[in-house]
Amino acid sequence: MDRGLRVLLLSGLAVAAAAVPQRASAQEAAAAASTTPQVVEPRVRRREVNPPGLDTENFEAGAFVGTISIEDFGASVVYGGRLAYHFTEDVFAEATLGTAKAGRTSYEDLSGSAELLSDDDRQFTYYDLSVGWNALPGEVFLGGRRAMPSAVYFTLGAGSTRFGGDDHFTVALGAGLRVLANDWVAVHLDARNLAFESDLLGKDKLTHNLQFTFGLTAFF
């Protein structure tokens, strides 16, 4: 046998000899670990984590009062309520409900004839569902010491108006100014046009009913 081959054989044997006890000791260690009792038992009680909540105020609800000019029926006092949800600092959705008592037409006053509408039918009640955009956010300064966050907003929506014994599909287009008196109370100045088709005076026409209101709302 040549010398190189012998060295190779011997070194192979040596490696094998070294590996066998190692494998055995690994097995022993594994067996020992499975039987040894745990020395330190963790006696940590999990703490109940109850994070305090954060008051999220995206809803805004309130009431308004103002004047509405009902086409052909003069101007009347209008009042109602509004509920808004602010999705982002720019966009909100708003539901408005308002009511007013319509006056008399010029025709009724001048001719002295029978009334065109019964008392019940003169009640002008509307709702609209609108999407609003805070187009011009800013601050309003009152005197030299108070700065109040404000926004000029535009709204566009659709709804229904009950007037003259009929429900009319209504498109509501509005603009307003919202001023926050403190963190959760807002003052609104709002102008809105409620447009709907009416045939109350004989023929179909698109009526525009302009409304100007002052409102107070609370964020919650």
Partner 1 sequence: MRRTALMHRLRLLTCLLLGMLAAGAVQAAAVMRAVVQDPFLELRTGPGRGFPVAQVVDRGAEVSLLRRRTDWIKVRSVNGVEGWAHRSQLERTLTTDGEPLALPGPAADSRTAHRWEVGLATGDLDGASVVSASGAYLVTPSLLVRADFAQLLGNASNGWLGTAGIAHVFMPEWRVSPFIGIGGGALRIEPKATLVQPEDRSDMVAYAGIGLRGYLTDRFMLQAEYREFVVFTSRDDNEEIDEWTVGFVYFF
Write out the residues near partner 1 by the rule CB under 8 A. 49, 51-58, 86-89, 91, 93, 129, 131, 134, 137-139, 147, 149, 151, 157-160, 165-169, 180, 183-184, 219
User: Least distance in Å: CB of 121 to partner 1?
Assistant: 11
Minimal distance, residue 158 CB to partner 1, in Å: 4
Nearer to partner 1 among residue 44 and residue 49 (C-beta): 49
Angstrom distances, CA of residue 48 to CA of 6, 41, 52, 54: 70, 21, 12, 18
* Pick 88 or 111: Cβ nearer partner 1: 88
Q: Give whichever of 73 and 219 is closer to partner 1, judged by the CB atom.
A: 219
* C-beta closer to partner 1: residue 66 or 174: 174
**Nearest distance from residue 153's CB to partner 1, in Å?**
12
Minimum separation from the CB atom of position 143 to partner 1 (A): 16
Question: What are the residue ranges of helices labelled H in 58-191?
Answer: 106-111
Tokens of 27: 């097995």
3-state secondary structure of 147: strand
Mapping DSSP to helix (H, G, I), strand (E, B) and coil, where does residue 33 land? helix
Handedness of CA 75, 162, 204, 95 (dihedral sign): positive
Indicate the residue among 12 and 137 with the shorter CB distance to partner 1.
Answer: 137
Q: Residue 104 gets which letter from DSSP?
A: -
CA atoms within 13 A on the CB side of 47: 3
Query: Is there a contact between 89 and 137 (Cβ–Cβ < 8 Å)?
Result: yes
CB of 131 to partner 1, least distance (A): 6
The answer to whether the Cα torsion of 8, 9, 14, 20 is positive or negative is positive
